[in-house]
Structure formats: C-alpha cells, structure tokens
Structure 1
Amino acid sequence: MTRALIADDERLMREQIRGRLAEVWPELEIVAEARNGLEAVELTAQHHPDIVFLDIRMPGQNGVAAARQIAQLPTHDESPNGDNWPGCEIVFITAYDQYAVEAFEQGVVDYVLKPADPERLRRTVERIRQRIGARDAADAAAAPLPTHTPDMQGLLQKLAAQLNPAPPTRLQWIQASVGQSIQMIPVDEVLFFISDEKYTRVQTASVEALIRKPIKELLEELDPEMFWQIHRSTLVNARAIASVTRDLRGRQIVSVKGHPQKLEVSRSFSGLFKGM
C-alpha cells in the first residue's frame, strides 16, 4: 500500500487534501499530518512515507526548506540500520499568484493548487503512480527520486530564492583545521567534502582538512552548479570529476582529478549521471 504524509499549517486545507485524495486514490494511506516544515521532516523520518504533500508557506520552516532536509534523510542504501526506504515523492501545495507554476508544469515536481482542484490532483496522482510503478519494476535503481535530481535541486533553489528574496552569499573560503593550524582554503580548490557524524573532511589536491560544518549547511552556502551532492554525506566539485564508472555491484563510482579516492554515488542521486 502506498503511504503519504500531508503538511500544511491550515487544518481545513489538510482535511480538504485528505478528502480529495480519498476520492481519486482510495487505496492511499495517510500515515501522518504535519502543521509545519519541522514536523514534516520529523514525521517523514519516523513514518517513511512514499509521498509527502508540502505546503510551500508554513511557519517555522517552509515547505522548500523541509523538502531539502527530507532529501538528506537516509535511504535504503545509506541507512546504517538497514531501513528499506527508497525515499519519497514531493508534491508542493501552492497558489497561482505566488510561485512559478510553469516550472512545476515542466514535470520536475508535482503540485496541488489551493483550493485543491480535483482534476489537477487526479493528474498528479496518475503521474506519481506511474513513477512509483516504474521504480518498483526497476528496483529503484534506474528511476531516481525527483528530489535527488539536478532539475529538482535547481527548482528548490529557485523557490527558496522566491521565499527569501535576498541573494544568497556564496561561500568563497573554508576555514579549516590542518594538524595544529587553521588554514584558509579557497572553495574552488576543494575537490570534495565527506561528512561523518562529527566532522566534514575537506579535500583539495594537496590538503586534507576538517571542519565542523555538516553537509546540509554547506549545501545552503555553496554554488550548486559547482558542487554536486552524490551521497547524503558527499559533495563533489563537478569540475574535478574525471569519470564515472560502475563497480561489480553496479554502483556508480566517481573518480576525481588529482586524487586517488573513489567516491560512491548513492542510488538516490544516480540521476545526476543519466547516461550510466
């Protein structure tokens, strides 16, 4: 059974979405409802739904920020406890006069208009069912989730800029610990970032350093056209990618110019390299 979560700060809107979904997709199970973005992320981590309906404007944390955090949750190939969750589809709840609906119409992500239009919701449901069916047939290997594709990441950045009109300040330097000293590392010299639970490793062609900033914060500060996320814990400088190959287990492996380490691409982010 397909499972969904609804996140909207308006109770009546949540009830309307639930009711309309019952009409067009009676088999869909609503496992939880959230009143804001923070609850949406927490409940997604707890219930592992197949679909999350996110209102774009919510107090505390908006739907775009929540979507970016949901994309960071461990999936089946990243979770240390073996959870068999492939991630989820994102459907934004929005209005005509606030956001670029034409971007949604290009198929990057689905949306529901306020008030929920039955015909629009029916088309959304049909597309989602087709994508879920394709992933099931391909065992999720050949059909990456939209949340983890470059197009989706670009749309999330565009929507975030609309919600926060001030232009983002891109990180130009990394202040990092190298042995007993602190070094200033130009961002464009970084080959990749790899995080564990406590530190993030900063790797250049000649320097390996540590910082305490997690990947999700770096994502907000780095230029997304320069640094691509290929794993929940890994960012790679696109200009430093030498090649992408597959190992004996079928996993995509990135080779980096000027460094011997091979970087694994999680299945959730395999859409970055569609030709593989």
Structure 2
Amino acid sequence: MHSYKNILDGAKGLLVETILAIEPTGLEYVVVGGWSPFLRNKTSYSHPGTKDVDILFNDGDVVGKIDKAVESLLSKGFVISAKHDFQLFKKLHVQGKDVIYHVDLLHPQESSNSPELMVDHFDLGLSEDYEFANDKRAKSIALPSSKFLFDGFYNSEIFKHEVSDGSVKEISIPLIDEAGLIFSKCISAQVTKRPRDSYDIFLALKQPNVKNTIEKLRDAASKYNQVRKSILSLYEFIDDEDSRFEYNVYKYVIDTNEKDLRSYCREKLEEILG
C-alpha cells in the first residue's frame, strides 16, 4: 500500500483521484477553493495548501444531473458521508496511518431560478431510518451566485502526483482563476473561523497577472450586481481598521518585512469598483 509523506501530499493524491473519476463523465465542472491559490501561486509568498477538494458542477442545480459523477466516485473507492449528503470521503495512507479526506459536491445557486440549497442527484440504495421510508440520496450544495464562473473564470492547470496505488498520474484541472477565487471568498473571508480566505485574496492580488484579474472583476461587477455587492462588502471589510483582515493575512506571511498589506488590497479593490 502506498503511503503519502504528509497530509498535504495525500491531499494532492486526493485531487488527482477525484479528477480521474469525474473527467470521463463529460460533465462541465470547475475546481474551486484552496487549490487555486496553492497551484497558481507565482510569488515569493508561500501557501499552506488545502486538505479537501471542492467541485462546482455547472448543471448541478438540475436534479439528477451529476449522478454519473457520484456513481463514478463511488466506483473508485470514495464513500458517502452519513451526515452530509453532498460530501464523499476517501481513505488514504499517510505516514503509516489511515487518514480520511473529503470531496464536496457544489452547484451554482442563482436566486432567480434555483433557490434550493441542496439538490438530489443519486439514489444510494440506503434508508435514512426505520420509521420513515425516505431513501438516502447523494446531493450537491449551493455556491451562491457562481454560475458566471463558467464564463471564462477558470482555465486548465496540468498537475501530476502519486495516487493511492503508488503510480503517478497526470491530470488537467479546470481550475478557478484569481478573479473567480477573489469573488468566491468575498463573504467567507469575513467569517472569523476562516482566516486563510483573507490570505488567499491577498495572494491572488499579488500575482503577476493582477492587472488582468482587476479588469475581469471590474467587467464582471458591471455585468452582475451580485459581484459588485460582494466586492463592495469585501472592500468595506478590508477598509475597517477593526476588522481582522490584516491580522489574518499576517498569520500566513512568513519571513517578510513588507508592511501595510491592508492598504495594498484596499487600493486594488478600489480599482475594481472604480
């Protein structure tokens, strides 16, 4: 049995195995979350990586649409969570110990036509309990106002790593870009228990392609009211001296004398908002 050298190493294996299972289904999807700032980082700053995989399916808001993805993941050794119907687990071996990783299945939620938080996709052949006849189904969970991300806010990233049998596999990841990453974390960065989201936003604004990122978000903000509202909310959070934004960023900045990172991010958001 192949044993990964650390938790992040195992997470990389999880990413590869997830994509290998989903890609043959032909479904349109994008990888969101922490893999974007980790794999796209071209700065001198380091990124701690991530430990799970978040998959956003373009048509996941349609009942049953991603059943092929769920079926394929289950056939590759993933297992469904008893508690969270949108989550699958994968057991990997890390430094001689069994470690459980998870994959989240997401769908776009546009309030005008898809108000549902959870959408049913796959009958697992299990009963929820003895008293009720409800069957347990695999579901996806909503990522609000994210449909536009499929309109040019991701591109492919080539990645290869060991999978659980020890072989090395190469994949092409449809990975959310810096502009999409910033939008997707505008609100979550303001949640106390998610300090790394602030750092992810800072890192996206420090990439060499920041001018292109600003232009894309400025254009999206002019087209989509929700994008502008989210960017404005993030700006107000960063602008507030009493917020934890700068504190959160400095938790992850290592070996640097750079100061006033809050002002830098605020100025970039001002460019987006015009």
- Name the TM-score class by shorter chain: under 0.3
Give the structure-1-normalised TM-score.
0.27
Give the structure-2-normalised TM-score.
0.27
